A and B are shown apart, each in its own frame.
Chain A
Amino acid sequence: MNRFSRRELLKGSLALGVSALLPGPVFSRPAKAEGGRPLVVQVHGSPEAALEILLRELGGIERFVKKGSTVLLKPNMSFPNPPEMATTTDPRIVRALAENCLKAGAKRVFVADHPLRSVPLCLEKTGMQEACAGLKGVHLLGASEEGMFEPVPLSGTRELKEVRVLRALLQSDLLINLPRMKSHGATTVSLGTKGAMGLIWDRKSFHGRMDLDQAIGDLNTVIRAALTILDGTRVLTAGGPLGPGPVEELGCLIGGTDPVAVDAVGVSKARWYGKVISPVEVGHLVACHERGLGEIDLDRIDLVFREVPPS
């Protein structure tokens, strides 16, 4: 695990401070709960009902989605796998959240990802196509061409100096991250902060040339979700990100505005690769936390449990 030197940290924070002042839709600031402690909500029950409760607990969808705004929902639809394999986001949640955004007055909702495999197959087999069908104002986008991305220069970052970001994100007012909770060989888990890699063009260099964890940290300084909701209905606890692997029926959604805190809670909710893992053992979460992107310490996070009442 590489640690920042003090000077690097200083330089990084400075650059972050500057970058936070810059306008642009990528740089949406994470909202904090009252008192500075991030709030994370965990709701058990059927996905659609759980989503309603989760949004209510976080202040309602209207808190995030302004009338006439453009929202980008970023589910995981990287692989042409059915949702039962727990490698892609449950399409029911995607549809329910898109409907919520439209109800709150969103002008348009992008449901976008940069799949790792054949785009038409991914859109079909994940069930996303069906889920988004018939929703007016909802655009399902599977990126496949470099021309769909726009280079964004990064300053003060350690590994990543420039990144090609999905243009739909640059045109959005709000990013809602909707990852599937799953394991990942290289990064232990793949949750919200790791999911940011689904909005950029070149990912091979993250693995082949850069320090993967630090590069994810860098990336999250520019791709910042206002709201992260983990799909914990079924969790792929090993064999990720593609599977197949053991699937745990966790039956919940975990959401909040602090992307690191949400991920940290997510890490603590399952046994990954057969063992309990602490958020500070997850390199890219530490890298994000060190960049001031959110709270990693579970003791400093307000965690609220809710359950869908039996009908």
Chain B
Amino acid sequence: MKGGRSSPRAARSRAAKLRRPIQVALFLAFVLLFLAMAHPLRPAVPYRLFLDLDPLVALFSAFGTRHALALAGILLVAALLFGRLFCGYVCPFGFLVDLFGPRTRLVVPAGQGRASESAAIESRPAGSKDERLTGVATPLPAWLDSIPWAVLAVFLLGWVLRNGLPALLDPLPHLFRLLAIVVFPAGVWVANGLLNLFRPVAEQVGWYGVAYLGFAQPGAATGVASLVLFAAFLGLNGIAPRFWCRFLCPLGVLLALPARVSWFGRRVAPSCIKCGRCVSACPMGAVPVEPIQTRFTLCVHCRSCQDVCPVEAISFSFGNGRTPAKGKLLQNPRRRGFLLAAGLGGLALLLTRLDPRVIKKSDRRLRPPGAIPEADFLAACVRCGACLRVCPTRTLQASGAEGGLIAWGTPVHRMRTAGCEQSCNLCGKVCPTGAIRELPLIERQHAKVGTAVLDRLRCVAWAENRLCLLCDEACPYNAIVFEVVEGHKRPVMDESRCNGCGMCEAVCPVEGEAAVVVFPTGEVRLKSGSYQEALAERRIHLEPRRDRFGPEPDSPSDTAG
């Protein structure tokens, strides 16, 4: 942006100078809160801050069990006062779009292509080295202006259809997920690799904390697709700066609604010479051909216009002179574009719900303990990946499309990777919508995920008479115990004691698929009420089997793991 400074006279305002540092600081805060979101969570740290701020996340939390709307309300009220200030200063996704955006491109507001292009070129002083004006002007088609409203409509349709899939476009969960399933797994892999190189040295110099530091490797399931999606969103910058923020961001368009009447914003003094520099400089296309006007639905207060104004006619204030762009939000032919885009989007959402795998619930996905009933879950999960990030064993991974596209990005257990730690209830604590309930340990242990099934044909203790019993060893509830059968110790399964934690599947030494596998059979999904009572009704007892182990009373423990 610095390279684009056009006039030495136009001193940048303090806000413009502070914008990038503020963006960097808040982006770092976003990343640090992500990194900090790990065991042990401290009550004083607002780990979910950025997710809780998001009114769209709050929207989907209506289907969940967490209705923390206060922070989300703050953002809407702020937009009422300051317009889309959030997009220009706070949004970490917007920061990346800014950062990887073009620096020298002629910007033309949608629908005003030819006119403003000529205006800009005409106004160019002879022999000017203004880089901002050297780009190739490609007029953006008018129908693009209808896209943001179509995105918002699809979001609301998703809400009506109880389909959380549109949340993939919500920038805050999107970026959080990207960190969780792309950046973090890759980072951990690199960190462990570097640590491995460094271990011998660390031992020599007595840094044992470093020599024996290791991080559980998170999975990157769906990471490639997410990376491609993210790259595509950034790549749209090639069409126009902040293309994502202008046309596709659902949070941006939601904030545009209150921003229309925002109090604080761009003001243009009558001294304006209508040179059109601000029209071209605005990355959001928020300045119409008549530069005294402002499209407050788009302005993110980046003050590029102020920077380039040769007569310093532009200010940002509460003051008089508020001149919104004329015209309705949706004029023909934009209305037709809107109906087409929203209609197609809504239809696509409906089709994902009508996937036979979703209708018949025929896939084998295992949901985290405390996940609310599946229909609500698919509506409430914003796929932010917070649960994937916090899971200490990494048993939680992002689902691909194997359970239908509607379930893409939602958390599922990969028990072969690791079992579900029974003394941990972190996924419910970090879920911003309460798609996974926040439960006390004892309740969470009774939130039955599924039931393990032992395949005696593949089990080495049954098929090869090996002394294995790793599953028996790993089972926290003694749902698998050994019996001496035909002179050999062999594992036997008592389903009535299994909560599907998957420890058995994780440790099974059989190559490939384990000989003991957890299926969602018997899972207990409650939106409210006690899991302990639910299991008691189902005659499932997650206590040690006193009958088999003699008369001794069992040790009290709230971890049972």
Which of A108, A116, A171, A185 meets B482, CB within 8 Å?
A: A185
State which of A11-19, A209-217, A255-263, A288-296 sits at the interface with chain B.
Answer: A209-217
- Contact at B475–A242, with CB atoms within 8 Å? yes
Which of A112, A121, A209, A234 meets B39, CB within 8 Å?
A: A121
Task: Write the B168-209 contact mask toward A (1 if CB under 8 angstroms, else 0).
Answer: 000000000000000000000000100110010001001011
By size class, the interface of chain B is 35 or more
Given A148-B199, A148-B211, A274-B549, A185 and B555 touching (CB < 8 A)? no
- Contact at A117–B393, with CB atoms within 8 Å? yes
Given A185-B489, A248-B552, A274-B549, A242 and B559 touching (CB < 8 A)? no
Within 8 A of B (CB), among A198-239: 204-205, 207-209, 211-213, 234, 237-239
Given A141-B208, A204-B509, A121 and B424 touching (CB < 8 A)? yes
Interface residue B407 (Cβ < 8 Å from any Cβ of A): no
Q: Collect the chain B residues with CB atoms within 8 Å of residue A240's CB.
A: 473
Which of A124, A125, A147, A246 meets B554, CB within 8 Å?
A: A246
- Contact at A167–B557, with CB atoms within 8 Å? no
Q: Collect the chain A residues with CB atoms within 8 Å of residue B214's CB.
A: 119, 143-145, 147-148
- Contact at B555–A237, with CB atoms within 8 Å? no
Interface residue A250 (Cβ < 8 Å from any Cβ of B): no
- Contact at A143–B473, with CB atoms within 8 Å? no
Shortest distance between the CB of B73 and any CB in chain A (Å): 37
Which of A81, A145, A187, A204 meets B559, CB within 8 Å?
A: A81
By size class, the interface of chain A is 35 or more
Shortest distance between the CB of B63 and any CB in chain A (Å): 31
- Contact at B424–A207, with CB atoms within 8 Å? no
Interface residue B467 (Cβ < 8 Å from any Cβ of A): yes
Task: Write the B380-408 contact mask toward A (1 if CB under 8 angstroms, else 0).
Answer: 00000000000011000000000000000
A84 to B559, CA, bound (A): 11
A80 to B199, CA, bound (A): 26
The chain A residue with its CB closest to the CB of B551 is: A246
Q: Collect the chain A residues with CB atoms within 8 Å of residue B560's CB.
A: 244
Given A80-B559, A120-B392, A145 and B460 touching (CB < 8 A)? no
A242 to B510, CA, bound (A): 21
26 A-B pairs in the complex with CB atoms less than 8 angstroms apart: A108-B206, A116-B474, A118-B393, A121-B392, A124-B40, A144-B214, A145-B192, A145-B196, A147-B199, A147-B214, A148-B211, A168-B208, A184-B473, A185-B489, A211-B467, A212-B466, A212-B467, A213-B467, A234-B555, A238-B549, A239-B478, A243-B544, A244-B543, A244-B560, A247-B552, A274-B549
Residues on A lying within 8 angstroms of B by beta carbon are 79-82, 84-86, 108, 110, 112, 116-121, 124-125, 139, 141-145, 147-148, 167-168, 171, 184-187, 204-205, 207-209, 211-213, 234, 237-248, 271, 273-274, 283
Smallest CB-CB A-B distances: 5 pairs? A208-B509, A246-B552, A147-B196, A145-B214, A144-B214
